[in-house]
Amino acid sequence: MYFNKIPPAANFQNQPAEAPEKQRTSTLTTLGEGLFRYTIRAPQWQQKSQANLDEDIFKPDSCGARITADSKSGLLLKLNNQTLLRSFAGREFGILGQKWAMSFEYNTSMRFYGLGEKNDRLEKTGGIYKFWNTDTIGDFGTTRVRTEPTDPMYVSIPYVLITQESGCVGILINNPHATFMNLAAKENIANLLDAKDNEQQTIHIGAYDGTPDIYFIIGDSPRSVTRKLQRLCGTTPLPPLWSLGYQQCRWGYRDLDDLEALDRKFDELEIPCDGLWLDIDYMDAYKVFTVVDDGFKGHRARIQALKANGRRIIPIIDPGVKYCTGYSTFEDGRNKDIFCKTAEGGIYSGFVWPGRTAFPDYSQEKARTWWAEQLQNYTLDYLFDGYWLDMNDPSTGSAELEDMRFNNGQDDHSSFHNQYAYGMQQASRRGLTAAIGQKRPFILSRSGFISSSRYSAIWTGDNWSNYFHLKASINMSLNLSLSGLPFNGPDVPGFEGDATPELAVDWFKAGFLFPFFRNHSAANTRQQEPWAFEDPYRQVIIHYIRLRYKLLPYLYNLFICHTESGDPILRPLFYEFTDTAGRLDTIEDQFMIGPSIMQAPIVNENESERSIALPTCNWFDAGSGQWIENKRQIQAITNIESTPLFIRDGAILAMRPGELTKQCSDLSNIECHIFISEHNTKTVTWDYRFDDGETINAPQAHVRLQFSQQGDNTLHVNCQQLSLGAQDLHIHFVTYHNYHSICLQHKDDIISIPSKEHSLNLTGQKLAAYRSPSYTLTATSIQPRPDQAIAFTN
């Protein structure tokens, strides 16, 4: 398959979508809230598998959105009578053999985002894209992957978000076959010259096969469209708290001796770490669902001891099953007829780490059930806490993919290729859930498809320890977030290659607040555990790991909000701000973590100074401890310790007290950091929720506070809601303005808290200098805790 070419619009024969003589019918369905489904059915397309979408949850409300379809003008999408998108008259739909395509008019005010995992740039105008899951290094080679954008990558999400001032449109192609998009690209000759006589630029989308089934999502902002997309595809279930902590991995960790050594070192250096990961070397001859016997002696007691110290154990699992007589997993799979077949009916063979391998046919329910049972039994035996699904693109080494068939050999490879990882995710989550009961499952996957968010987090695959991949990781993670996969992140400080101390520090500064935060390195590269780098680099890396743990209450609440609203964790600036004069839609090296924190990391080698855009509001500079008011652009100078990090005016952030040197699941003892500038007269409402961090449907405690400044230089805090059940919340108040006092009120309880000006340097070595006494919030009252000291210094 050509990865860099797609069928052009000129080759398609334009036909009416509705063609009775061809037994072709079109259906336009209004699903509500600005969501529409457009489907064309014909005997030539026999689509048997699609993503699991929740189209029935939307209310019958047009939200001012309207879509029409007729044979003369094609499709016309409007919001509040403003045209957002229209197909070319007479060119709404085209056929090219089994291929189909749709073409829409382009105007220069349009901006394009989403498209899942693409590593070229944030905004996609002028790009040609194909959606076909690849093993990136296997398909493109190490030389190209190391320094150049490659496309397609591991995850296929055929979705584009089109933004304009008058409104936004999301287009989702629900099709498991290879799909493509041309986003106003100019045709080229020999990849060097633009063709001067090409037709006008268009938006051209389509598929190589499969039923045309397209969802159009209309909204007034990127936020409204993204929320609807996420609800349609399924939000990420609230993950276990430990999965949001720091994760340590290396290709080379082989057994429990290695994990126990890591455990001791993290304790010795007082570095919090929740996850210890095992790459392929822990398996016996790389056979799935095995371990090296000599490295797992007495494994149950030893793993329980690691768990008691707060560590979780996550092994890698590949779909390839070693083709080997006498190997019980293979023999059982063969006897139950669950492997992919060739056209002749034999078991398809590929080549992965164990050599010749067979592959479960996840398109079949019996194969998903078999895999779930295998993984359930494995979990019960070895007490693993989660799984890392790799090579599920699927990767088959030198074997041609097209010979792998699905549905008992009846369906060709393209019918399920992009959903192969999706099927593995479904089966793996089912098996893990069956083994761990009411504990929340955690699955991490390399490849994925539409709705993978229901089952798995995504890491962005085999990246490199260099600045090209550091910068690209921001664009990839932001667009994955806009495409319905919010729980994602890159390997820090890069998987392949040797990270220099300077590069490692820049990676950790940039990545310490990504939704997924894992240090992973390849065999035959330098060690890159935090202690592998000399001081002062080591101490800076440790500082940012600890800072993530300080901010975990904030991150956890973002995930809680995501389950309700669909908002992503990582967000481009234009998601939160509409400052068109500052062209926030083109900024690639700044991003928001939730609505309140903005990062502007160093992403270029030997860079110590950079320009930073400040969207319209006042910002607290977490490095200097000072407010920045009425500025839209600043120059920031950084040193080895600092990174540009800013808090939005009006933000209230939940943090853990002090500097965290050990992982901890307690979210009921927090600092409430109040970032309200001197001239901000708005009332700010803050919701904080917490639970035990690990149980499905755990009782959730909730507190709602309202903050307002008044003329007596007092900060008034009114407790609007306390839904704590049997739990208590211990809370310190931290202010960033020199109030005379804080007045805390709940019903008849009124407490006056002394205050003083506070300066916080989050990005240096000191995390805090002052906080209020601690107060206990119960279900009915607020009480001071006089045993708590007012001041502390780290």
Distances (CA, A) of 255 to 141, 239, 267, 304, 307: 30, 26, 19, 15, 15
CA separation for the pair 549, 670 (Å, rounded): 12
Percent of the chain with pLDDT over 70: 93
First vs last C-alpha separation in the chain: 58
CATH code for the domain in which residue 411 is found: 3.20.20.80
Cβ neighbors of 639 (< 8 A, separation 6 or more) are 608
Final residue belonging to a domain, choices 435, 459, 483: 459
Residue 48 sits in the same domain as residue 114: yes
Give how far the C-alpha of residue 463 lies from the chain's centroid of Cα atoms, to the nearest Å.
Answer: 16
Is residue 572 in a domain? no
Strands (E), 515-632: 518-519, 570-571, 591-593, 597-599, 609-613, 619-621, 626-628
Residue 300 sits in the same domain as residue 417: yes
Is residue 688 in a domain? yes
Residue 197 sits in the same domain as residue 246: no
Residue 224 sits in the same domain as residue 272: no
Residue 211 sits in the same domain as residue 252: no
Q: Could you tell me if 158 and 172 are in contact, meaning their C-beta atoms sit under 8 angstroms apart?
A: yes
**Is residue 388 predicted with pLDDT exceeding 90?**
yes
Is residue 169 in a domain? yes
What pLDDT shows up at residue 794?
Answer: 22
pLDDT digit string, tens, across residues 459-484: 999 999 999 999 999 999 999 999 99
What pLDDT shows up at residue 749?
Answer: 77
pLDDT digit string, tens, across residues 186-225: 877 776 666 655 567 899 999 999 999 999 999 999 999 9
Query: What average pLDDT does this structure show over 169-173?
Result: 98
Query: What average pLDDT does this structure show over 692-711?
Result: 93
**Is residue 791 predicted with pLDDT exceeding 60?**
no
pLDDT digit string, tens, across residues 109-151: 999 999 999 999 999 999 999 999 999 999 999 999 999 999 9
Of the candidates 385, 387, 411, 322, the residue with the CA atom closest to the CA atom of residue 694: 385
Query: What average pLDDT does this structure show over 571-575?
Result: 97
Q: Could you tell me if 424 and 362 are in contact, meaning their C-beta atoms sit under 8 angstroms apart?
A: yes
Is residue 645 in a domain? no
What pLDDT shows up at residue 688?
Answer: 97
**Is residue 595 predicted with pLDDT exceeding 70?**
yes
Query: What average pLDDT does this structure show over 777-787?
Result: 62
CATH code for the domain in which residue 220 is found: 2.60.40.1760
Query: What average pLDDT does this structure show over 681-695?
Result: 96
Residue 289 sits in the same domain as residue 171: no
Which helix (H) or strand (E) segment is 380 a member of? helix 365-382
CA separation for the pair 259, 340 (Å, rounded): 35
Lowest-pLDDT range, 29-33, 521-525, 779-783? 779-783
Residue 204 sits in the same domain as residue 247: no
**Is residue 535 predicted with pLDDT exceeding 70?**
yes
Confidence category of residue 104, pLDDT binned at 50, 70, 90: very high
Of the candidates 388, 413, 485, 477, the residue with the CA atom closest to the CA atom of residue 159: 485
Residue 223 sits in the same domain as residue 99: yes
What pLDDT shows up at residue 781?
Answer: 66
The residue range of the domain holding 249 is 234-459
Of the candidates 737, 736, 746, 744, the residue with the CA atom closest to the CA atom of residue 773: 744
CATH code for the domain in which residue 682 is found: 2.60.40
Q: Which two tokens stand for residue 250?
A: 């290396």
What pLDDT shows up at residue 311?
Answer: 98
Number of separate domains in the chain: 3
Residue 117 sits in the same domain as residue 253: no
How long, in residues, is the chain? 794
Is residue 564 in a domain? no
Is residue 636 in a domain? no
Please spell the DSSP secondary structure of 291-314, one letter per residue.
--GGG-TTHHHHHHHHHHTT-EEE
Confidence category of residue 770, pLDDT binned at 50, 70, 90: very low
Residue 759 sits in the same domain as residue 771: yes
Final residue belonging to a domain, choices 233, 255, 287: 233
Confidence category of residue 793, pLDDT binned at 50, 70, 90: very low
Residue 162 sits in the same domain as residue 113: yes
What pLDDT shows up at residue 782?
Answer: 67
More confident of the two residues 760 and 450:
450
What pLDDT shows up at residue 252?
Answer: 96
Check whether the bond before 536 is cis (ω within 30° of 0).
yes
CA separation for the pair 562, 227 (Å, rounded): 9
Is residue 573 in a domain? no
Final residue belonging to a domain, choices 407, 432, 459: 459
A 10 A CB-CB count for 779 gives 13
Is residue 755 in a domain? yes
The bridge status of strand 488-489 relative to strand 701-710 is unpaired
Give how far the C-alpha of residue 761 lies from the chain's centroid of Cα atoms, to the nearest Å.
Answer: 28
Residue 63 sits in the same domain as residue 164: yes
Q: Could you tell me if 69 and 16 are in contact, meaning their C-beta atoms sit under 8 angstroms apart?
A: no
Of the candidates 213, 255, 166, the residue with the CA atom closest to the CA atom of residue 28: 213
**pTM, whole model, 2 decimals?**
0.95
